[in-house]
Amino acid sequence: MSNKLMKYWLHHKSFGIFIVGYMDSSTPGHQIAESNQGDEIEIGIDRKIKVRCSISRFHFPSHSTREELLTIAEKLKPSRVVLVHGEPEAKKWLGHQILKSSKNIKVHSAEVDKSIIIFD
């Protein structure tokens, strides 16, 4: 599915692809991460696509401390936070701390085979 979305997004000038982690050099993601708007990249066998969307790379550390995660939430002031990774007790602690720092943030904790439906 990510390849289908990527091919669609690359064609639209008003879209963007944001790379936040490591991309193996043999993957299409790496080619995209190394490209710029206007470049032509080869995706698959004999298939070239012109990059029309913007490409940005963010270097997030793969393992942040609890305090660093809380600082991010405090600075960004999101309306919602979805906790998707970590031990259940650690996610519970982090969720409570985020709620304590701002009553306006809604916190969700992702679970395997469960959907989170968000309406604003």
Q: What is the pLDDT of residues 63-91, one digit of tens each?
A: 788 898 899 899 988 999 999 888 899 99
So what's the pLDDT on residue 103?
80
Domain, as residue range, for 21: 2-57
11 within some domain: yes
Q: Which long-range contacts (CB under 8 A, 24 or more apart) does 31-37 make?
A: 32/6, 33/57, 37/13
Q: 75 with 48, same domain?
A: no
Q: 12 with 30, same domain?
A: yes
**% of the chain exceeding 70 in pLDDT:** 95
Number of domains observed in the structure of the chain: 2
Q: 76 with 51, same domain?
A: no
Worst-scoring range by mean pLDDT, 44-48, 80-84, 114-118? 44-48
79 within some domain: yes
Q: E strands along 1-120, which residues?
A: 16-19, 40-42, 48-50, 54-57, 80-83, 106-109
Q: 6 with 44, same domain?
A: yes
115 within some domain: no
Q: 70 with 51, same domain?
A: no
